[in-house]
């Protein structure tokens, strides 16, 4: 595939774009976490093995699911007649209690890879109504075993497994185990303690230190400025839309008589090709360059007309808020008609960003997203 641009690997998240250089501080104060108080912190190294979720999509355990998030991980198998269903029901109550804006990822890994296909995992999960951000994982036996061993879930006899939920945060390197058959409040408490630990002092391992530095730099740069989407929902820009995901970002306005509608229609094909990943580990963002006129209602009409699907956020808001974000990304213009038509593709966790013409071939854009962090 012809490269869209020479990729830019950024140290401490320096985002350098030819039309508007954007530089982040390369030295950041790394938040040093303390262990959760309910139990001693565990030493966990999450392998970046490729597994398969309940939709049949391949995901990497560290890169796609754990990095940048607090996670709750348990171990189940679909033919289990004892603890697996009640434990999953408890975890489902925890996810519901945290609500849809939670940044917590839930992961259930099979102990019976010989029988648990993605389809069976999906059927097992269905009665519990898991929300977005909950992955039921299977895959190649060796890779599943590697994950189970690393996370402390492996047992030679699956029937003898314990109802354990591993709660942790890889940024702070804080991990603890909770009884999955206890009350949901115990798991919620562990999650909140692990989240709080990311703000306290302790020693980080090299992997966690790098991730913490990258996250701190990204949060400082992108900011948690509040913007409003086409449905009227308010989002914190970094934490809700950028952190822990690959992102595609472009600029448009609803009264545009030129490129905006064709570009949006073109990018709906990109969204279709990326499939169910959009809204999970990939976010699509269009920032209005005309916040004085682009209301959530007008953005909603615009997106409905052009076939935009969930997982793609068209953002407006107070002029000072959206101007701040536009300037950070090199998208601010005094005259909306003069806005640029570049597509930014990036991963704040790795600091890798590339730019592409928004009307580049769909296959090229999709390839750039899927292979963004490949070694060059």
Q: Which residues are annotated as a binding site?
A: 256, 260
Pick left, alpha or beta for residue 68 (phi over 0 → left; psi -120 to 50 → alpha; otherwise beta).
left
| Residue showing tokens 């490269």 | 3
Residue 144, H or E segment: helix 141-151
Rounded CA separation 37/77 (Å): 31
Angle between helix 184-197 and helix 84-98 axes, rounded to 10 deg: 50
Q: Which of 244, 225, 250, 252 is nearest to 236 (CA)?
A: 225
Phi, psi of 160 (to 5 degrees): -95, 10
Host H or E run for residue 189:
helix 184-197
Partners of 213 in the beta sheet?
A: none
- Token digits for 179? 């009884």
128 DSSP assignment: G
The answer to whether residues 306 and 265 touch, using CB atoms and an 8 Å cutoff, is: yes
CB 70 within 8 A of CB 103: yes
| Residue 233: CB atoms within 10 Å | 13
Answer whether 107's CB lies under 8 Å from 65's CB.
yes
The two three-digit tokens of residue 224, written as one number: 């948690």
The Cα–Cα gap between 30 and 22 comes to 21
Output the known binding site for Cu cation. Answer: 256, 260
Instruction: Give the tokens for residue 48.
Output: 């970046």
Apex 209 CA angle, 206 and 212, nearest 5: 150
Distances from the Cα of 245 to the Cα of 27, 230, 314, angstroms:
23, 20, 17
């Amino acid at each position: 595939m012809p490269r869209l641009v020479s990729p830019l690997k950024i140290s401490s998240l320096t985002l350098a774009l030819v039309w508007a250089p954007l530089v982040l501080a390369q030295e950041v104060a790394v938040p040093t976490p303390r262990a959760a108080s309910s139990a001693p912190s565990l030493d966990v190294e999450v392998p970046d093995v490729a597994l398969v979720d309940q939709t049949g999509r391949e995901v990497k355990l560290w890169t796609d699911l754990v990095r940048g998030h607090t996670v709750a991980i348990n171990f189940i198998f679909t033919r289990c007649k004892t603890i697996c269903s009640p434990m999953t029901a408890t975890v489902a109550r925890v996810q519901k209690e945290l609500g849809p804006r939670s940044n917590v990822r839930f992961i259930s890994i099979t102990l019976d890879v010989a029988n648990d296909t993605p389809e069976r995992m999906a059927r097992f999960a269905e009665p519990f109504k898991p929300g977005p951000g909950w992955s039921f994982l299977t895959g190649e036996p060796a890779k599943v075993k590697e994950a189970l061993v690393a996370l402390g879930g492996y047992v030679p006899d699956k029937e003898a497994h314990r109802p354990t939920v591993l709660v942790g945060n890889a940024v702070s390197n804080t991990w603890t185990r909770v009884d999955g058959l206890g009350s949901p409040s115990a798991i919620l408490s562990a999650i909140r303690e692990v989240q709080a630990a990311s703000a306290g002092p302790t020693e980080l391992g090299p992997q966690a230190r790098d991730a913490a530095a990258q996250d701190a730099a990204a949060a400082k740069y992108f900011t948690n400025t509040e913007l409003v989407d086409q449905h009227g929902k308010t989002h914190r820009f970094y934490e809700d839309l950028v952190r822990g995901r690959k992102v595609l970002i472009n600029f448009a306005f609803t009264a545009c008589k030129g490129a905006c509608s064709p570009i949006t229609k073109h990018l709906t094909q990109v969204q279709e090709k990326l499939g169910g990943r959009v809204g999970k580990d990939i976010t699509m963002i269009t920032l209005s360059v005309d916040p004085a006129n682009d209301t959530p209602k007008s953005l909603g009409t615009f997106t409905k007309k052009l076939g935009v699907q969930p997982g793609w956020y068209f953002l407006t808001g107070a002029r000072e808020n959206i101007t701040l974000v536009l300037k950070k990304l090199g998208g601010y213009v005094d005259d909306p008609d003069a806005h640029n038509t570049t597509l930014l593709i990036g991963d704040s966790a790795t600091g890798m960003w590339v730019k592409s013409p928004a009307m580049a071939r769909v296959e090229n854009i999709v390839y750039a997203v899927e292979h963004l962090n490949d070694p060059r």
